[in-house]
Amino acid sequence: MAFFFLSLGLVGCFRRYALGKGLMDVPNARSSHQLPTPRGGGMVFVGLWLVTVLLTWASGELSSNAALFLLPGGILVAGIGYGDDLYDLSPLWRALVHLIAAVIAVYFLWAREANPDWEIFSWQGLGVLSALVAIVWSINLFNFMDGTDGLAAMEACFVFSAGGGWLWQAGAYGYAYLAWVLVAVVAGFLVWNWPPARIFMGDGGSSFLGFLIAAFALAGHICWDIPVLLWMMVYGVFWFDATVTLLRRILAGERWYSAHRSHAYQRLHQAGWSHRKVLLAISGVNTGLVAAALWASANRETLPWVFLATLMFLGVAYVGVERLCPMYPKE
């Protein structure tokens, strides 16, 4: 509870700082908001969480390997994201830093423990490469999906609440504690980000959360045998929307790396749904996804089938949005 109120107060202080410094998100043709709004507030929960990791490490509740797995990548991703909030950095620089962060994380989680003679075209090598892709994609997709009030913060609270429970059950108490601390500090931010948002988290906060979701999911799978599919289920709205939309834009010959308003959640807003209605609808979907994931976790033999049912449900929901507001309207 203390983390929640500390975050709540510090976000308010940061908002006043952002207003004074002119750190504003000014609406443009791709925006879903209409008024200039302070941004960069995610750096509050980033800072609080990183300090908590350091203190947990210093107290001996977190191993050095775990701290080095989480800290350098998190700092790099949040730093380059906040730099982009301030100075509008080149996508190439951001991509490079994201890749470096992923390499560091995978090294301390996995490759350092592996045979140094591993080959890329072995199962082990393919696993490492898949982990790198997963981390970099999660960083970016979370940033893509941070486009309406409260959505990204709400998603993080769902994912890390459930993930913390699985980590605790597996005996990963340090990781579980850090997951729940993140829920508390993000919830403090969410109070300010609730529709109508009074501050945005910015690229620094959204990229940081995307990095941590992939990092915790991989750590849970490799170290404690928590299936990645469980994390994918509770993270389903974000990765499904972002991935399907990206593939459709590539197939349509668009500049897939450019900013746009084609995601399903953005099209719901374009169809006349308010930020609050979009947030509540996706919160309802997430509640169902978490319930399904908890069932699958307790009945592991059903996991592949529950995951398949989840994919079908997300596909039907996506088609429903498509009918309401097509990505490519017919002339």
DSSP class of residue 37 equals E
Q: Does residue 28 have a known ligand-binding role?
A: no
Q: Which residues contact 24 (CB under 8 A, 6 or more apart)?
A: 18, 36, 37, 38, 39
Residue 38 backbone phi and psi in degrees, to 5: -55, 145
32: closest CA among 273, 212, 227, 205?
A: 273
Q: Are 260 and 267 in contact (CB under 8 A)?
A: no
Q: Are 233 and 292 in contact (CB under 8 A)?
A: yes
Kindly state the DSSP code that residue 331 receives in the 8-state scheme.
-
Q: What share of the chain is helix, strand, coil (3-state, %, to 5)?
A: 75, 0, 25
Q: Is 143 annotated as a binding residue?
A: yes
CA distance 262 to 271: 12
The tokens of 98 are what? Answer: 């994201």
Binding-site residue numbers for Mg(2+) are 143, 203
Binding-site residue numbers are 143, 203
